[in-house]
Amino acid sequence: MKKQLQILLIALAIMLVACDKPIVPKPKDLIKEKEMVNMLVDVHLAEATFNKFRYDSIMRDNSAANFYASVLEKYEVPDTLFEQSYVYYASMPKKFEKMYREVMNKLSEMEQEFSGRKEQLEFDDEAIQNKR
């Protein structure tokens, strides 16, 4: 029983270490993490915009690909490099999860600014500080 537990712990340790190493080779011109996060934010905004207006008569001649292309054009990144970088980062689950948490935080901040909730939160914080 003790031997089985040792083997199980060793196997678990190997699996945990393997999760941090990329399976996919690093692209020659890998997009830096911060830029990739910013690009992913813009990709999600482009997707949301397309989904919101896709049935509008103005959008009839557009596709989601046009929106993705506009993001790539903004950052001056070829689609192949974006794909290679995305796959590379996705092959490292811990790092990719951290990056996506940052993406979600940025999108949440944008949503708060857009909806006016950020100003309300700042106003509430000032009111609390003034009471002290």
pLDDT of residue 96 exceeding 70, the answer is yes
Contacts 24+ apart (CB under 8 A), 79-84: 81/27, 81/29, 81/31, 82/31, 82/39, 84/27, 84/30
pLDDT of residue 12 exceeding 80, the answer is no
What pLDDT, in 10s, does the model give residues 47-87? 887 777 666 656 565 666 677 888 889 999 999 999 999 99
pLDDT of residue 21: 60
What pLDDT, in 10s, does the model give residues 104-128? 999 999 888 888 765 565 555 565 6
Supply the pTM of this predicted model.
0.66
